[in-house]
Amino acid sequence: MVDASSVHSLPARPHRIEDAAPARAMPLRLFEGHVHRLALLAIAELGVVMLCVYGAVLAEAALGLIFYLAPSLFVGRGVFGLAGIFAFSALVLSRLAFLRVVDQDIFKRRVLVWGAGARAATIARRLRRSTDQRGFKIIGHVRAPGDGAGLPDDQVLQFDGDLLRLAMRHNVEEIVVAMDDRRGGFPTKELLECRLRGIAVYDVLAFLERETGRVSVELMQSSWFIFSNGFRCNIARLASKRLFDVLVSTAILLAASPIALLTAIAIFLEDRGPILYRQIRMGQNGRGFPMLKFRSMRIDAESNGQAMWASRNDPRTTRVGAWLRRLRIDELPQVLNVLIGHMSFVGPRPERPAFVQQLTQAIPYYPERHFVKPGITGWAQVRYSYGSSNKDAQEKLEYDLYYVKHHSFAFDLMVLLQTVEIVLLRIGSR
C-alpha cells in the first residue's frame, strides 16, 4: 500500500479498456440527489391523495350497492367521523414510514473525501447531526499530500494510488476535494478520470454549501464570488420582486390597520412616549435609510448614545414591548419601508451603521451581504436563532451570502412560509 501523503503527485498510469465499463451501482436519483427527499415526500403525499380519491369512489359505490340491497338500512353521521379517523391515521402512518425509509442508505449519495486534514474535518464539524447527513454517506477519506492533523486514522481508507479503482470498489457517486494544500500534488488526472466515468467531483466549499444551505466563510476565497454561479441581477428578477413587494405590502397595510391602531394606543398609554421608533440602518449598496418599528423599549434605552445589541429578557424592554416582540408586531411598520422601496420582504436583516463598521473589521466578506435589499425576514432568520455577538453575526452572514447567491421568487416564498411557522410558534423572539 502507498500512502497518498508520502508522495507529491500520483504517478500517471495508462488508461485500461476494462475500466470503461462502469462497475459500480447507479441508484436512481431525482434532480441529481439534491432534492430527492422532497421528491419522495411529494410522491408519498400524492399517493395518499390518490388513495383518498379512490377510497371515496369505492365508498360511494359500496354505499350505493348497500342501499340498493337493503333500502331500510340506516347509516348515521358517525360514518364521517370514522372516515376522518381512518384518513388521519393513514396520513400519520405514511409520514412515519417516509421518515423511516428516507434514512436508509439506499437513498443516500455515497461520498469519498479526498483529504483528511483540517478542511476535511470541517465537514464532520458542520454536518455532525444525523439529520444533516440524510442526503449522503461518507464512506471514508483519503489522506492527501500536505494534509495536517484533522481526522483519526480509522476514518482514512487505505489507498494504493488508483483513485478510480478505489471509488468503484466502494460504489462512490461523489468525490469531495478537501485537501489542505493543493500546491503539493493535486490529483488532476485521477479526478478527471473519475469525472469522465460519471463520478461527480465537488470542492468542499460547494459540497458544504449544498448540504448546509450556507456558505463557509472560513473556507472561502475572493475568487469564489467571481467564478461561482448565481448572484442574479437581471431586470425580470428585480421587477418581479418589486411587484410582489408592492402588492403584498399594500394588502398587509390595509388588513393590519386595526392591529396597528390598537398597538399604537397601547404603546402611548404605557409611558406617553413616541409610538414609532426610527433608526438608521444600512441598506442596499451600503446606503443608510430610516427603518420604522413600533417602540418596544424605554425612551432612554440608549441614553449614552452608544449602539447596544439586544439581549434575551432585555431590561430596557417595556411591558407592552415584550408582547410586541414576542408576537413580532413591532416589525409591522417595516411594511412601510417595503412599500417605499428601502427594504424587501425577504433579504438580509439590516444592521445599524455602527455594527456594520464593527463587523466589517471582524468578519471577512461582510459588506457583500448588502448586494441585495435588506428584508423584514430572511434565510438567516429562519435558519439561525437570534444572535448578539460577532460569532453569531458570522454564522448569519453565511446564510445571508447563500441567499444573495441563490435568491429567487420560489426561494422567497419558502422563506416566507417558514417565517409564518416561526411566528406562530414564537421561536427566537427577543
Q: Are residues 84 and 138 in the same domain?
A: no
Q: Which helix (H) or strand (E) holds 134?
A: none
Q: Are residues 201 and 251 in the same domain?
A: no
Tell the residue number behind the cell numbers 436583516, with chain if given: 349
Q: Are residues 128 and 196 in the same domain?
A: yes
Q: Are residues 254 and 375 in the same domain?
A: yes
**How far apart are alpha carbons 16 and 79 in whole angstroms?**
69
Question: Is position 373 within any domain?
Answer: yes
Instruction: Provide the β-strand partners of residue 366.
Output: none
| φ and ψ at residue 423, rounded to 5 degrees | -65, -40
**How far apart are alpha carbons 378 and 349 in whole angstroms?**
7
**Amino acid identity, residue 325?**
R
**Residue 206 sits in a domain of what CATH number?**
3.40.50.720
The C-alpha cell of 120 is what?
476535511
Domain that holds residue 160: 4-27+108-212
Question: Is position 228 within any domain?
Answer: no
Question: Is position 41 within any domain?
Answer: yes
pTM to 2 decimals?
0.74
Report the pLDDT value the prediction gives residue 160, as an integer from 0 to 100.
86
* CB neighbour class for 29 (10 Å; exposed up to 12, middle 13-18, buried from 19): middle
Q: Are residues 246 and 167 in the same domain?
A: no
Q: What is the DSSP letter of 213?
A: S
Q: Are residues 23 and 44 in the same domain?
A: no
Specify the number of domains making up the chain.
3
Q: Report yes or no: 166 and 157 within 8 Å, Cβ to Cβ.
A: yes
Q: Beta strands of 234-391 (E only): which ranges?
A: 276-282, 288-294, 344-346, 375-377
Report the pLDDT value the prediction gives residue 82, as an integer from 0 to 100.
64
Sign of the CA dihedral with 207 first, then 212, 216, and 219 last: negative
**How far apart are alpha carbons 208 and 105 in whole angstroms?**
20
- Of 66, 82, 101, which one is at a domain's C-terminal end? 101
Question: Is position 225 within any domain?
Answer: no
**How far apart are alpha carbons 264 and 194 in whole angstroms?**
65
Q: Are residues 262 and 295 in the same domain?
A: yes
DSSP string across 136-193: EEEEEEEPPTT--S-S-GGGBPP--S-HHHHHHHTT--EEEE--S-TTTT--HHHHHH
For residue 358, which of 302, 430, 400, 309 has the smallest C-alpha distance?
309
**Amino acid identity, residue 322?**
A
Q: Are residues 175 and 84 in the same domain?
A: no
Q: Report yes or no: 68 and 77 within 8 Å, Cβ to Cβ.
A: no
Q: Are residues 115 and 48 in the same domain?
A: no
Q: Are residues 293 and 410 in the same domain?
A: yes
- Of 76, 101, 126, which one is at a domain's C-terminal end? 101
H-helix segments, 170-296: 188-196, 204-212, 223-227, 235-255, 257-271
Q: Are residues 189 and 72 in the same domain?
A: no
Question: Is position 221 within any domain?
Answer: no
Q: What is the pLDDT along the chain (430 residues), one digit of tens a residue?
A: 444 444 444 444 544 434 444 444 334 444 444 444 445 555 655 666 676 677 667 766 776 777 777 777 666 666 666 666 776 777 778 777 776 766 667 778 899 999 998 899 999 888 888 778 878 899 999 998 888 877 888 888 988 889 999 999 999 999 999 998 887 778 899 999 999 999 999 999 999 999 999 999 888 888 888 888 888 888 999 999 999 999 999 999 999 999 999 999 999 988 888 899 898 999 999 999 999 999 888 776 666 656 666 666 677 788 888 888 888 888 899 999 999 999 999 999 999 999 999 999 999 999 999 999 999 999 999 888 777 788 889 999 999 999 999 999 989 998 998 888 887 766 554 4
Q: What is the DSSP letter of 176?
A: E
Report the pLDDT value the prediction gives residue 313, as an integer from 0 to 100.
65
Question: Is position 174 within any domain?
Answer: yes
Instruction: Provide the β-strand partners of residue 406.
Output: none
Q: Are residues 45 and 147 in the same domain?
A: no
Report the pLDDT value the prediction gives residue 25, as an integer from 0 to 100.
38
**How far apart are alpha carbons 167 and 161 in whole angstroms?**
12
Q: Computed over its alpha carbons, how large is the radius of gyration of the chain?
A: 28
Report the pLDDT value the prediction gives residue 192, as an integer from 0 to 100.
94
**How far apart are alpha carbons 28 and 45 in whole angstroms?**
20
Q: Which helix (H) or strand (E) holds 371?
A: none
Question: Is position 376 within any domain?
Answer: yes
- Of 55, 86, 101, which one is at a domain's C-terminal end? 101
H-helix segments, 256-318: 257-271
Q: Is 297 helix (H, G, I), strand (E, B) or coil?
A: strand
Q: Report yes or no: 320 and 326 within 8 Å, Cβ to Cβ.
A: no
Question: Is position 74 within any domain?
Answer: yes
Q: Report yes or no: 278 and 291 within 8 Å, Cβ to Cβ.
A: yes
